[in-house]
Chain A
Amino acid sequence: KQEVTQIPAALSVPEGENLVLNCSFTDSAIYNLQWFRQDPGKGLTSLLLIQSSQREQTSGRLNASLDKSSGRSTLYIAASQPGDSATYLCAVTGANSKLTFGKGITLSVRP
């Protein structure tokens, strides 16, 4: 059974800091991995999707990497801003297109 872990559960950083969010998964037989953002009381916004054959994806200040063999992914956020404050969820796609989510990392960027 696939399990996705995100540690720590919460993170507080000053504005401008570069930061790395970690995600690990137990079963390397995945099709892809996605990072989502969730604002309080809102839905999910897909940030980056990395196919299993890829090593990384970039979008603006975000860069996500995938090491399938070791079951790890990182989301790198450059020059963090208060507007980046949200919960960041990592999810892997397995059989039958099911997404298995981690519990998320709640990020707070202090002005």
Chain B
Amino acid sequence: NAGVMQNPRHLVRRRGQEARLRCSPMKGHSHVYWYRQLPEEGLKFMVYLQKENIIDESGMPKERFSAEFPKEGPSILRIQQVVRGDSAAYFCASSPPLAGGLDTQYFGPGTRLTVL
């Protein structure tokens, strides 16, 4: 049973470009969460999604960031017009459809975004 998969593992973008980060949850998991870890900071919640639904995006910056989890395929975190401050490690986690999503969250290896 493969774990949570994220790709790419490393992504380099120039200021103003778009970054697309992908997350494939564990088999059977229907809840996906995105977190961001800035240098010297703890992990911060960004968004919680179920298939075709955004449940909570209270941690997502209001501009340039969007997330989706389509019926088929991976979850995508999209950052438009990246700036240097977006450089961080972005982690995806998934959990099974139990207890309203209060089960253990399993984390992927992360995507390390560097903005030049």
Partner of A103, one of B41, B93, B102, B108: B41
Give Cα A104–Cα B41 distance, bound, in whole angstroms. 9
- B48 adjacent to A96 (CB under 8 Å): yes
Size of A's binding interface in residues, CB under 8 A: 24
- A98 adjacent to B56 (CB under 8 Å): yes
Give Cα A42–Cα B91 distance, bound, in whole angstroms. 10
- A46 adjacent to B95 (CB under 8 Å): no
- B48 adjacent to A101 (CB under 8 Å): no
Chain B positions within 8 Å of A, measured between CB atoms, are 31, 33, 35, 41-45, 48, 55-56, 58-59, 91, 93, 95, 100-102, 104-110, 112
- B33 adjacent to A99 (CB under 8 Å): yes
Nearest to B109 among chain A residues (CB) is: A43
* Chain B interface mostly: strand
Nearest to A104 among chain B residues (CB) is: B42
- B43 adjacent to A101 (CB under 8 Å): yes
* Chain A interface mostly: strand
Question: Given A44-B91, A103-B41: A97 and B104 within 8 A (CB)?
Answer: no
- B45 adjacent to A98 (CB under 8 Å): yes
Give Cα A89–Cα B33 distance, bound, in whole angstroms. 17
CB distance from B61 to the nearest CB of A (A): 16
Partner of A89, one of B43, B45, B108, B112: B43
Give Cα A45–Cα B4 distance, bound, in whole angstroms. 11
Question: Given A43-B110, A44-B91: A103 and B42 within 8 A (CB)?
Answer: yes
Q: List the 10 closest pairs (A to B, CB-CB), nearest first.
A: A97-B101, A44-B107, A43-B109, A103-B42, A96-B56, A101-B43, A101-B42, A98-B45, A43-B107, A31-B102
